[in-house]
Amino acid sequence: MAVRIRLSRRGRKKLALYDVIVADARAPRDGKFIEKIGTYNPITNPATIDIDNQKAFDWLMKGALPSETVKKMLSYRGVTLKRHLQIGVIKGAITQEQADAKLAEWQKAKDAKISNKVDSLSKAKEQAAKARKEAETKVREAKAEAIRKKAEALNAAPVVEAAPEQEPASEA
């Protein structure tokens, strides 16, 4: 039986959420599965990937094949690197301590990269809000200036007073 690690869609139209599942390759996309190992939300920025790394690692070591998207997600989370290092340990190329040290170093660098992206996105959002507020202020000031000039023009215009009508002299 060929086992795949793949995505199963849920959520409503244009707001997709995915479950990361382990299923028989012959099962339909949203059909029967063996185990749910996580979730994936592509709508957030950066995309939210919540996978149980240990379960995913165990399934990879048992021979489950990930789909292309899941393979990228597992690589992003470091599961494929952990598998690669563990195979090296099994073959005797490196020790378990060396493998753990390499994985920890990689994970630290990856976490720093992710936090930098989140920080840059939040700064960009703040700058965009500040720019919108400044543009709104300029527009409001321009409107106030136009109203002030119009009021000055009305006040400066010579006021033409109507001459009082003379009453016709009464003939007596």
Segment 38-44 mean pLDDT: 93
- DSSP annotation of 44 reads S
Q: Would 167 be classed as within a structural domain?
A: no
Using only C-alpha atoms, what is the Rg of the chain? 35
104 and 45 housed in the same domain: no
pTM check: above 0.75:
no
Segment 46-67 mean pLDDT: 92
Q: What is the pLDDT at residue 170?
A: 64
Whether the per-residue pLDDT at 83 is higher than 70: the answer is yes
> Closest Cα to residue 9, out of 47, 34, 42?
42
Q: Would 22 be classed as within a structural domain?
A: yes
Segment 3-14 mean pLDDT: 92
pLDDT-based confidence at 100, cuts 50/70/90?
very high
> Closest Cα to residue 19, out of 41, 44, 46?
41
Q: Would 75 be classed as within a structural domain?
A: yes
45 and 125 housed in the same domain: no
The residue range of the domain holding 41 is 3-94
Number of folded domains that form the chain: 2
What does the block give as tokens for 171? 């003939």
Residue of higher predicted confidence among 163 and 147: 147
Q: What is the pLDDT at residue 161?
A: 64
H or E stretch including 3?
strand 3-12
H or E stretch including 91?
helix 79-91
